[in-house]
Amino acid sequence: MLQEIHSAAEMQAIALALKREGKTIGLCPTMGYLHAGHLSLAKAARAENDVVVMSIFVNPIQFGPNEDYAVYPRDMAHDKALVEDCVDYIFAPQPEDMYPEGFHTEVAVHELTRHLCGASRPGHFNGVSTVVSKLFNIVQPDRAYFGQKDAQQLAVIRRMVRDLNFPLEIVPMPIVREADGLALSSRNRYLSAEERQQALILNQSLQAAAAAVAAGERDAKKLTDSVRARIQTMPLAEIDYVELVDEDMQPAEDISGWRLLALAVRFGKTRLIDNIVLEAN
């Protein structure tokens, strides 16, 4: 039976009791308005842990002053119905409980946050690493599940776990897409029909880049220029960035070893991100 917990202290007491009983805990951190991408995390957690906790928290400190914190979609009834078969606890704290008066601590992962979303959303990743640290301490997970959809976030959390010796495993999960290729995102609901149609260019341009790499292209500038050119054929698309980076999220000049081709593009008021891993075979 799915239980909804709103207090950090209560969640932590439950988690510590479960640990004393020798139970393993899987955590899926989310901001809610759940979709099949979130569900894939919960299902993986269900298969690998005794107890599954999904956090649903629209984290104010990871939003910039002109971003969509106030209007970010929220629907707890829908979220509970979607995950009730694979989640034991939904942890949905209030912002005042997570950040009481006098909260003055921040966790910052440097270098990996210099480019991509780290450059276009100043302070965003400090908000992410701070809240995820808190969630790890509250929920005491053995495993935590993160989507490759937010590839830079995944890299930042992995580095934080390594650097700060969090005793848990980070499990990366592949990007879940709509049948037409659009990566699932809670923010897709902001898109008009026309914007949504034009947004298909994101996955298409990433796929084209993968095909170019398969055909022998190795040059970062040629690859990113061609992705940009494709996206710019869509009149409603406004590119934030298109970049090729290495596993430290630093700009790469060519395809040699693991590479991430990542992009952020605005359609109207909606900023979408997507990416693909490219490797020379």
Q: Which residues bind ligand AMP (CB under 6 A)?
A: 30-31, 37-38, 40-41, 146-147, 149-150, 173, 175-176, 183-186
CA distance 244 to 206: 11
- Cβ proximity to ligand AMP, 176 vs 201, nearer residue: 176
CB of 176 to ligand AMP, least distance (A): 4
| Residues 25, 106: Cα–Cα separation, whole Å | 25
Between 32 and 115, CB nearer to ligand AMP: 32
Q: Which is nearer to ligand AMP, 183 or 255 (CB)?
A: 183
Q: What is the distance, to the nearest Å, from the Cα of residue 43 to the centroid of all Cα atoms in its chain?
A: 17
Compute the least distance from the CB of residue 217 to ligand AMP, in Å.
27
Is 38 annotated as catalytic? yes
SS3 at position 238? strand
Among 38, 104, 110, 115, which one carries the catalytic annotation? 38
Residue 193 CB, nearest distance to ligand AMP (Å)? Answer: 20
Task: Give the H/E segment covering residue 261.
Answer: strand 258-267
Closest residue to ligand AMP in the complex (CB): 147
Closest CA to 127 of 22, 194, 31: 31
Tell me whether residue 255 or residue 262 sits nearer to ligand AMP (CB atom).
Answer: 262
Name the 3-class secondary structure at 148.
helix
> Concatenated DSSP letters for 181-199?
SPBP-GGGGG--HHHHHHT
Residue 275: CB minimum distance to ligand AMP, A: 11
Would you please indicate which residues are annotated as catalytic (active-site) residues? 38
